[in-house]
Amino acid sequence: MRFRTLVASLATAAVALAATTAWRVSAREKAALAAHPPTGQFVLVDGAKVHVQVQGTGPDLVLIHGANGSLREFTLGLADRLADRYRVIMVDRPGLGHSDPLPRGQTSVAAQANRLRATVAQLGVTTPLVLGQSYGGAVALAWALQERPAALVLVSGVAMPWPGKLDPWYRATDTALGRHLLIPLAAAFVPESYVRRSIEGVFAPQSPPAGYADHIGVDFTLRRSSLGNNVDQLNNLRPEMVQMQPHYPTLDLPIEVIHGDADTIVPLQIHARPLSELVPQANLTVLAGAGHMPHHTHPDAVIAAIDRAANRSGLR
C-alpha cells in the first residue's frame, strides 16, 4: 500500500510539474516574442522563412551571428557604423531568432550556409563580403567552401576541431530524451540572472556594453525552439570541423581573421592561429587582452578588418 501511495504521489507531482512548466514556458515565450518582434523582413527559401534586416548602401556585407543568437547581435551599434559605406545584410541563422529551422538532422553549417546564400540571393546579392562571428565563423567558412564570396571576415570564429568535449549542458541534451526533458525545464525555470552572468562570462575579461542583455533579449534566447535548435547545431559542430579542415588550403580569397588572445570560449591557439597557418590568404590580427566579443569591445579593430577585406577584394 505504501508503495502504491508513493507511486501515486510521484505521478501527481510529475503531472503538476509538467503543467507548471507548460504554463510558465508559454507565458515566458509569449512575453519574449512581444518584447522582441521581427525588425526586418522575411525571405522565403523552399517554403521556410528567413528573417533578414538590411540597412545602408554600398558593397554587400553579410553578417552571421553566433550560437543561440540572432541578428540583434549586430544592431547594437556595429551595423550603424558600417551602413554609411556598405549594404549591411544581417540574418537570423536557421532555427534561431525569427528564422524557421532546417529539418532535424540537416542542421549542418554547410546546410545553414546554403540557406543563407539562397536567402541573400533573393535580395540581389551575388558576391558579398561575409562576416561570421563565433559559430557564425564556421558557417562563413562553409559558405566559402561552397561558393566563393568576395572575402571573409572571421571574428572570434570557430574554425577547427577542438580537444575535449562540450560542457555538460550540451552532452546532456545530445539525446532525444535529454532534449525532451531538459529543454522545457530550462526554458521555464532558468533565471534571467543566470543568463546575465553567463553573458558576462562570454565577454570576459571585458564587460558587455550597457543594455546588451536587454537588447538581445534574455528570454528570447531561452525559448524552447531556440534552445533546441542551438543544441542540435552545437552537438554536431565538431565532426563538421573535422570534415572541413582538410579543405581550408583550397580557399583562394581574402580572409581577415580577428581574434582576442584572452578568448576562452573559442581559443585563439585552437582556431584562428592554426587556420591562418593553413590558408595562405588569411591575415590574422590578434587583439591583446581581448575576449570573445571584440565586435562590441573592440569595434574599431573589427571595422578596420572589414575595410581591409573589402579593399583586398576590390569591393572598395
**Per-residue pLDDT tens for 67-106?**
999 999 999 999 999 999 999 999 999 999 999 999 988 8
Provide the pLDDT confidence category of residue 10 given band limits of 50, 70 and 90.
Answer: very low
Q: Are 127 and 133 in contact (CB under 8 A)?
A: no
Reported as a single tens digit per residue, the pLDDT across 239-255 is 999 999 999 999 999 99
- Of all residues in the chain, the percent with pLDDT exceeding 70 is 94
E-only strand ranges, the chain = 41-45, 48-55, 60-64, 87-91, 129-133, 151-155, 255-260, 282-287
Residue 117's pLDDT is what? 98
Distance CA 15, CA 194 (A): 26
Rounded to whole angstroms, the Cα distance separating 234 from 107 reads 10
- Average pLDDT of every residue of the chain: 92
Mean local confidence (pLDDT), 289-301: 98
Q: How much is the pLDDT for 2?
A: 62
Q: What is the DSSP string of 117-170?
A: HHHHHTTT-SS-EEEEETHHHHHHHHHHHHS--SEEEEES---S--SS---HHH
Give the pLDDT of residue 7.
47
Domains of the chain plus CATH, in order, are 35-158+236-313 (3.40.50.1820)
Pick 164 or 116 by higher pLDDT: 116
Please give the Cα distance from 25 to 220 (Å, whole number). 11
Which distant-in-sequence residues (6+ apart) come within 8 Å of 160 by Cβ?
Answer: 241, 245, 270, 271, 274, 275
Of residues 277 and 15, more confidently modeled: 277
